[in-house]
Each structure stands twice: as C-alpha cells, then as structure tokens.
Chain A
Amino acid sequence: EPEVTQTPSHQVTQMGQEVILRCVPISNHLYFYWYRQILGQKVEFLVSFYNNEISEKSEIFDDQFSVERPDGSNFTLKIRSTKLEDSAMYFCAGTGLGGELFFGEGSRLTVL
C-alpha cells in the first residue's frame, strides 16, 4: 500500500534555527497538508496546499512557517526561526480520491 513518507523522523534543533521538514505524498493525492501534535494534545491543522498554492491555513501558521512543493514531488514545511513551543510531532497528509486523509509517520521536532 502506498505511503506518505516523511523525513527526518526526529530532529533536534536550537531555538532560533531554521528547520525544514520533508514529505513525499502519494502520487495521486491532490491536496496536501501539514498537521502538528504537541505531546499529549490534539492533532491540529496547520495548512492545506492544492495546485501549488496554499489553500487554507490556521492561526498557528504564522509568518515563521512556509510550505513549498519545489519539484512536484517533495512537499516541505519550513520553520524560519524555531521557538520552544514549536516542539511537536509534525504530520504530512494527503487526500485520497474518496476524501480520506492519510498521514505520514511524522517528524518529531525538539527545540532546545
């Protein structure tokens, strides 16, 4: 079964550093997403991406965040200057033809 793959699985960074999280969605997915889950809390929507542009973003997705699909396959989330509160599991997801959302295994970000 095709999977959404994410790298890295875990990244540790210093506060203020830039971080790029990468995702390879399933090829026939049309919409792509980033969600995050702070330890012990709900899964939260960050941003949706369709046809090479942001479709919708949440209040969390401020100017420190950006998304790109530079080469038509990888889908990236960049955090320009990380804060302690950015520590979370970040999930990439894609939407199947039936509208179901399929998640990648996640990238755990730890900001020190």
Chain B
Amino acid sequence: EDKVVQSPLSLVVHEGDTVTLNCSYEVTNFRSLLWYKQEKKAPTFLFMLTSSGIEKKSGRLSSILDKKELFSILNITATQTGDSAIYLCAVESVDSSYKLIFGSGTRLLVRP
C-alpha cells in the first residue's frame, strides 16, 4: 500500500532558526513528490520534485529528493513567524492520474 510518513509531527523553533522537515515514502511507480504549506485552509503549492538529487529553491525554502532512499527534505532557513503552518508532503504514482497520497504533515510553530 502506498504511504507517506512525515517527521517530526510537530516542531517549535524561534525566529531565525533553520528547520529541516522529513518525508519518507513508499509508492508503486513513483512519479513525483510535492510539498505544500497549509495555514488556515487550502494547501498552497511549494515544490514538485521528480528527479533525484536536484534541489528546488525558492527564497528561504529548499527541497531535495532522494529517489534511491525514498525520502525528501524541506529546509527553511532564517525562519519567520509567517512560516508557522502545517507542511504537507505528498507523492504521486505513474499508475494514477495525478492522485496524491498525503502524509500527516509537520506542524511548525515559529516563535518571535
């Protein structure tokens, strides 16, 4: 059965800290892995990774995928209170029409 496991479940840091969020997965015929940020309502798209070892970067956020070890990490440097959210990892199989399997998320709280 396809599954996505995220760790830690929750994390509390202070502004300026760097955090690393983890996502491991098992999926048949992997196509892609996506990261989302969920604040109050809808998940907001952050990154999509399809190739191993390539880093996607946007400002203070970056992510790498390791297809051999079946995991991805999301890094946030110089955290701000606005980074407080639930970060969701999801994977997609070639066998399914863009159907995503989500992890439970990591709840990040950034204190001033």
Q: Which positions in A face B, CB cutoff 8 Å?
A: 31, 33, 35, 41-45, 48, 50, 55-56, 58, 89, 91, 95, 98-106
Q: How far is the CA of A105 from the CA of B43 in the complex (A)?
A: 8
Return the chain B residue nearest A94 by Cβ.
B98
Q: Say if the beta carbon of B99 comes within 8 Å of chain A.
A: yes
Subset of 7 A-B contacts with CB under 8 Å: A31-B97, A33-B98, A33-B99, A89-B41, A91-B42, A99-B48, A106-B41
B97 touches A50 (CB 8 A): yes
Total interface residues in chain B, CB < 8 Å: 23
Q: Is the CB of A42 within 8 A of B98?
A: no
Majority-rule SS of B interface residues = strand
Check B41–A31 contact: CB distance below 8 A: no
How far is the CB of A67 from the nearest CB of chain B, in Å? 14
Q: Is the interface of A mostly helix, strand, loop or mixed?
A: strand
B102 within 8 A of A: yes
- Chain A contacts for B36, CB-based, 8 A: 103
Separation in Å of the A6 CB from the closest CB of chain B?
9
Cα(A18)–Cα(B70), bound, Å: 42
B102 touches A105 (CB 8 A): no
Contact of A56 among B99, B101, B105 (CB under 8 A): B99
List the 10 closest A-B pairs by CB distance, nearest first.
A103-B42, A43-B102, A55-B97, A106-B41, A105-B42, A45-B99, A48-B97, A42-B102, A105-B41, A95-B98
